[in-house]
């Protein structure tokens, strides 16, 4: 069997986690077996479709690094891949079902259908859907009325008193009573537009889709689609209804739980590798004991047998953990490129939006090792490093004083630290600087931590900062000494 899967979104909204998870699982399944992934745009809902949503789809998957083999933008031998360009096909196949007596022309106006619905509601009737009024109109009469221009739809004949059975790769054998299927649903609307069900089945057949992998919310459509495949005499693809993605309250993931749209995650600073890695684990397992995967590794280890039936709970903290791991994997240059736009916007180099000079950009890149383990998102870099690009305000005198010490001792320690600055600024590595500090502290009979406390406050403006030795190396001896002297003068004056 040739493996052919599809992602078939309706361009009526921005891409979100659930849709991306469906696309990703289809992509991984195809790649795991050397198959092909097809993108199809199901744009028959013309009132809600918008080209900006199409652009968002392309932008999202380009950013994530997921590429289909056939689609509107890549071509292929099963196109067109946009449903609004396939209307003649849908009418042809709807009429084929009429000829086979598996569908029929319905002449009921919308007003009658609305009146029927209102009457049932008033009577508290359990009946729903169409009452099949036109089902038994003589075929020749119906065809003549349709050919004569009378407004009509085409409805599918649901076999009565039967059950429909199909197999789901994940959920097993499923049996559905036809009485519970939407009664004789419309296939082709009066304006010639196909319904979702007709276009979906026709397209999947003509595009030779081998596996339909979609969220379990579509499970209720599967019996209807199975009936349609049987009506056409076509072999149905294998169904695999994927577990839902839920919030921590057990409800479908949405904005009420936090970010759900990919643009939101992207704007918050999540890396595509982190999203791919985490989303791939929502409802699937790969290698026991392994958390981090490349896209290629995910594909190599993906299997339908490793999918979970139970819904997957989206954990924002776990996603953040993945983001931190991928941030730490970046080289200095890569991380600087990720962090620089946010730093410019935050005014790290002057006014908001002001680009850095060559020297500032070099210092920014050199500072990446100082924050790599201390940020979860690129936008956090600016505040972590602001002290390197503008002299910080001096903190209160108490911030300079080590625990169980006093101001006089803090001043003494600050003077000792001043003597060490030239060597610290010249140290080639953090390890070399730390060794030097420990040795000098021991030689002078002070604790390394006590020695660094007033120095850190003077240089960074805080008792908590990125590694101090690395900061001094980037600032240089001259700037560092100037900050120490300013702090010592303030402390000597007795200001609080």
10 Å Cβ neighbour count for 201?
27
Angle at CA of residue 170, ends 166 and 172, nearest 5°:
40
Separation of alpha carbons 480 and 387, rounded Å: 11
CB atoms within 10 A of CB 46: 10
Residue with tokens 């290698």: 287
The answer to whether 185 and 195 are in contact (CB under 8 A) is: yes
383 Cβ neighbours under 8 A, 6+ residues apart: 346
Cα(320)–Cα(262) distance, rounded to whole angstroms? 14
Three-state SS letters, the chain? CCCEEEECCCCCCCCEHHHHHHHHHHHHHHHHCCCEEEECECCCCCCCCCHHHHHHHHHHHHHHCCCCCEECCCECCCCCCEHHHCHHHHHHHHHHHHHCCCEEEECCCHHHHHHHHHHHHHCCCCCCCCCCCCCCCCHHHHHHHHHCCCCCEEEECCCCCCEEEEEECCCEEEEEEHHHCCCCCEEECCCCCECHHHHHHHHHHHCCCCEEEEEHHHHHHHHHHHHHHHHHCCCCCEEEEECCEECCCCCECCHHHCCCEHHHHHHHCCCHHHHHHHHHCCCECCCCCCCCCCHHHHHHHCCHHHECCCCEECCHHHHHHHHHHHHHHCCHHHHHHHHHHHHHHCCCCCCCCCCCCHHHHHHHHHCHHHHCCCCCCHHHHHHHHHHHHCCCCCCCHHHHCCCCCCHHHHHHHHHHHHHHHHHHHHCCCHHHHHHHHHHHHHHHCCCHHHHHHHHHHHHHCCCCCCCHHHHHHHHCHHHHHHHHHHHHHHHHCCCC
Which among 335, 320, 324 is positioned nearest to 381, based on CA atoms?
A: 335
Cite the active site residues: 255
């Amino acid at each position: 069997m040739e493996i052919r899967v599809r992602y078939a979104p309706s361009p009526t909204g921005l891409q979100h986690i659930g849709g991306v998870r469906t696309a990703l699982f289809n992509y991984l399944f195809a790649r795991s077996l050397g198959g092909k992934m097809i993108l199809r745009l199901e744009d028959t809902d013309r009132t809600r479709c918008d080209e900006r949503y199409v652009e968002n789809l392309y932008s999202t998957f380009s950013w994530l690094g997921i590429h289909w083999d056939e689609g509107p933008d890549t071509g292929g031998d099963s196109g067109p891949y946009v449903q609004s360009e396939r209307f003649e096909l849908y009418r042809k196949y709807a009429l084929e079902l009429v000829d086979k007596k598996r569908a029929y022309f319905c002449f009921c106006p919308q007003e009658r259908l609305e009146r029927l619905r209102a009457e049932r509601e008033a009577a508290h009737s359990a009946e729903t859907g169409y009452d099949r009024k036109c089902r038994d109109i003589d075929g020749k009469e119906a065809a003549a009325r349709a050919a004569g221009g009378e407004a009509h739809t085409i409805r599918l004949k649901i076999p009565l008193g039967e059950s429909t059975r199909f197999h789901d790769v994940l959920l097993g054998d499923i049996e559905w009573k036809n009485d519970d299927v939407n009664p004789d649903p419309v296939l082709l609307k009066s304006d010639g537009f196909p319904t979702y069900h007709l276009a979906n089945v026709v397209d999947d057949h003509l595009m030779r889709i081998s596996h339909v992998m979609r969220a379990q919310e579509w499970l209720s459509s599967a019996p209807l689609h199975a009936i349609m495949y049987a009506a056409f005499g076509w072999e149905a693809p294998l169904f695999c209804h994927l577990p839902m993605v839920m919030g921590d309250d057990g409800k479908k993931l949405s904005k009420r739980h936090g970010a759900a749209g990919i643009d939101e995650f992207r704007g918050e600073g999540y890396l595509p590798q982190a999203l791919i890695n985490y989303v791939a684990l929502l409802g699937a397992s790969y290698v026991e004991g392994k958390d981090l995967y490349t896209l290629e590794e995910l594909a190599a280890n993906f299997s339908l047998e490793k999918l979970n039936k139970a819904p997957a709970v989206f954990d924002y903290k776990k996603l953040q953990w993945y983001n931190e791991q991928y941030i730490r994997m970046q080289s200095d240059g890569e991380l600087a490129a990720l962090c620089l736009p946010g730093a410019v916007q935050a005014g790290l180099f002057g006014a908001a939006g002001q680009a850095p000079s060559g020297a500032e950009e070099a210092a920014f890149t050199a500072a990446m090792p100082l924050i790599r383990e201390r940020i979860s998102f690129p936008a956090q870099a600016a505040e972590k490093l602001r002290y390197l690009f503008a002299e910080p305000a001096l903190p209160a005198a108490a911030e300079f004083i080590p625990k169980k010490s006093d101001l006089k001792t803090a001043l003494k320690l600050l003077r000792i630290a001043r003597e060490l600055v030239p060597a610290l600024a010249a140290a080639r590595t953090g390890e070399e600087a730390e060794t030097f500090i420990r040795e000098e502290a021991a030689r002078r009979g002070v604790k390394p931590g006590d020695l660094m406390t007033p120095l850190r406050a003077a240089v960074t403006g805080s008792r908590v900062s990125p590694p101090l030795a690395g900061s001094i190396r980037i600032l240089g001896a001259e700037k560092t000494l100037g900050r120490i002297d300013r702090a010592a003068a303030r402390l000597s004056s007795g200001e609080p």
